[in-house]
Amino acid sequence: MIVLTGIIFGIIGALFEVFLSHAIIIKNIYPFIAISFVIFSGLYGGTRLGLWTGFAVGIILDFYSTHLIGIGVIFFSLIGFLSGYLIKNLYIEKIYSRFIILIISNFLYSIVIWISVRSSESAILRPIFINLIPQVIYSSIVGSIIIMILYFLFKKFPILTSFIYRINKKK
């Protein structure tokens, strides 16, 4: 059941990434929405749900995007697993952990994409400061809003939580 839930949640996250992220572009900077779905599933449902959500998001976005196939599957699966692991085993604060995990994973994903699709003519540091840093900040802000909306929806409608086993029942 957790595998099916993770794959369905990953498909929803990938669809949001494909269709919504290009609709909210600000000065040619678009957010990474799928990372917020993967992190939410890891934080809310644990390591297995985060892993399967990351796998589904990664495999869909690998076939959709221009970077190397397989990078997304590995990256998103790892992010989903690690977010579930951090929230379960380290007992860190949720508000800070969401934002810190979002910033780190957005930055790493931006670097992975930049390395895999950049041309050999560009300078090595120029695109990082011009393109990556604003994209990381914008993606983290949009991702935090999406995670808050998802937490609200899962708290408001108990039918959604019946599909996902919560780590902490005192949330």
Return the pLDDT at 163: 61
- Measured from the Cβ of residue 17, the count of other Cβ atoms closer than 10 Å reads 23
Which residues fall within 8 angstroms of residue 52, CB to CB, at 6 or more apart?
A: 2, 3, 5, 6, 7, 10, 80
pLDDT at 5: 82
pLDDT of residue 170: 39
Give the type of residue at 100.
Answer: I
Residue entry with tokens 């990351």: 54
**What distance lies between CA 72 and its chain's CA centroid?**
11
CATH architecture assigned to 2-161:
Orthogonal Bundle (1.10)
Could you tell me the CA-to-CA distances from 170 to 37, 45, 155 in Å, in that order?
A: 22, 14, 12
Contact predicate 146/44, CB 8 Å:
no
Per-residue pLDDT of the chain (171 residues; tens, 9 = 90+): 778 888 888 888 888 888 888 888 888 888 888 888 898 888 888 889 889 999 999 999 888 876 667 888 888 999 989 888 887 776 656 666 677 788 888 888 887 777 776 555 555 555 566 767 888 888 888 888 888 888 888 888 777 666 665 443 434
**How many whole angstroms separate alpha carbon 52 and alpha carbon 66?**
22
**What is the model's pLDDT at position 54?**
92
